[in-house]
């Protein structure tokens, strides 16, 4: 069985399900935590000289699965790494803590005799997601002024990989010391 479509878990309509403890596993609601697809959260040069900060901001409440965050991160990072290597810092601001549950459904002939139905169905942990409120920053990039159009375009492409609507905000913010030329 493959990955379920993103529309099945896009909207925030259920209570949060994220209590997981390594120290006290008996008190955990989530007995086994699903694997996280989002491993790299910071790309580029951290301690560089940057004049602007560009944010990808959520415009509506939505749940974003970890594989969608990873796909958007790769889409945003690829043109920056190709065109301006070493002149940017891109990082992910949200982390997928919410656990998505899935009820395994048997399909095919004779399935009605095997299954017990969907009454009081709970499901098993299958995936992770980040719950995002309107105004939450998803990705942040620090760049110089001459690279702003490239970052805006890469964030526009990354927003196409994510569910929901997003805005791109540019803030003038000087970080680091200017290199001597």
Residue pLDDT tens, the chain, 181 long: 578 888 878 888 877 777 777 787 777 667 677 778 888 899 999 998 999 999 999 999 999 999 999 999 999 999 999 999 989 999 999 999 888 888 777 676 666 665 666 666 677 788 889 999 999 999 999 999 999 999 999 999 999 999 999 999 999 988 887 876 6
Contact (CB, 8 A) for 79 and 37: no
Residues in the chain: 181
Question: H helices of the chain, where?
Answer: 66-83, 111-114, 148-159
19-102+120-175 has which CATH code? 3.90.1170.10
Cα(103)–Cα(109) distance, integer angstroms: 19
Whole-model pTM: value is 0.84
């Amino acid at each position: 069985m493959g990955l379920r479509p993103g529309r099945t878990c896009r909207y925030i309509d259920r209570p949060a399900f994220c209590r997981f403890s390594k120290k006290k596993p008996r008190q955990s609601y989530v007995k086994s935590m699903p694997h996280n697809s989002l491993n790299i959260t910071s790309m580029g040069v951290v301690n560089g000289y940057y004049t602007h900060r560009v944010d990808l901001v959520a415009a509506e409440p939505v749940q974003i699965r970890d594989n969608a965050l990873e796909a958007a991160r790769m889409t945003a990072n690829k043109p920056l790494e190709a065109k301006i290597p070493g002149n940017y810092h891109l990082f992910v601001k949200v982390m997928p803590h919410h656990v998505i549950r899935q009820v395994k459904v048997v399909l095919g002939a004779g399935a009605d005799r095997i299954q017990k139905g969907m009454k009081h169905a709970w499901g098993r942990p299958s995936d992770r997601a980040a719950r995002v409120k309107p105004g939450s920053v998803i990705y942040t990039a620090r760049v110089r002024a001459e690279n702003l159009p490239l970052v805006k375009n890469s964030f526009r492409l990354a927003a196409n990989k994510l569910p929901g609507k997003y805005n791109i905000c540019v803030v003038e913010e000087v970080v680091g010391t200017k290199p001597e030329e």
